[in-house]
Structure 1
């Protein structure tokens, strides 16, 4: 991808909801505001999610039927907190996802208002 194409793609992500995974197993979900050459990312209206401690999802602790999906995958409730504006350092980022679900949801609510 050439430089101008990369810039255009990043510009198309401005204002969209991103899910950023970090090396310490946290997940940040917020609105993409900007980035820099060091891959640092600034998100606004951000929520931070943490996976439960290992002991919280051992099989002995998952006795309710609704803790398992049809495929046998264990569902775990993540703890979260609102942190607002945040800079996620680029060297801690392991994965970035575009949260298309919230984009569709926002698009549907805007279409209903029109």
Structure 2
């Protein structure tokens, strides 16, 4: 548990995260916290809706601070320091109803326009 806390504090906390949820929407915001049920809180959050197959959001709106129930989380992508510095680091984790992410499997999404 101590290793998981250290990883969250050093690799995820206060970073930009993109979370895809089960109804097809995605939420992009600053990662604030996660609990044992994999419920996530994001601050300064934008909701992205995808209504076509282009892979680009068709509508975006600011929703502020949100709590995303772990049971609805499909995928979590977290910006790495290398990406912040202009690199192309990858950080992704797939969730299956409350299963914790494998930190070694994190990767940064390919469409960086979703994060600006």
The TM-score by the shorter chain falls in which range?
0.5 to 0.7
The runs of 5 or more residues in structure 2 that have no matched partner are 87-116
- With normalisation by structure 1, the TM-score equals 0.65
Q: Looking at both structures, which has the greater relative contact order when contacts are Cα pairs under 8 Å and sequence separation is at least 6?
A: 1
Higher helix fraction: Structure 1 or Structure 2? 1
Does the C-alpha gap of structure 1 residues 77 and 50 become closer, same or farther in structure 2, counting only changes over 3 Å? closer
The runs of 5 or more residues in structure 1 that have no matched partner are 58-73, 106-114
Match of 1:80, SS state, is strand
1:44-97 Cα distance to aligned partner (Å, 9 max, x none): 000000101x5xx5xxxxxxxxxxxxxxxx454421100010001100000000
- Name which of 8, 11, 21 aligns with 2:6: 8
Asked if residue 92 in structure 1 is aligned to residue 90 in structure 2, the reply is: no
- With normalisation by structure 2, the TM-score equals 0.64
> What corresponds to 1:30 in structure 2?
29
- Equivalence map 1:1-114=2 (5 Å): 3-12=1-10, 13-52=12-51, 74=54, 76-100=56-80, 103-104=84-85
Q: Which has the larger radius of gyration?
A: 1
Q: Give the superposition deviation at 1:104.
A: 2.9
Structural RMSD (CA): 2.0
The number of equivalent residue pairs is 84
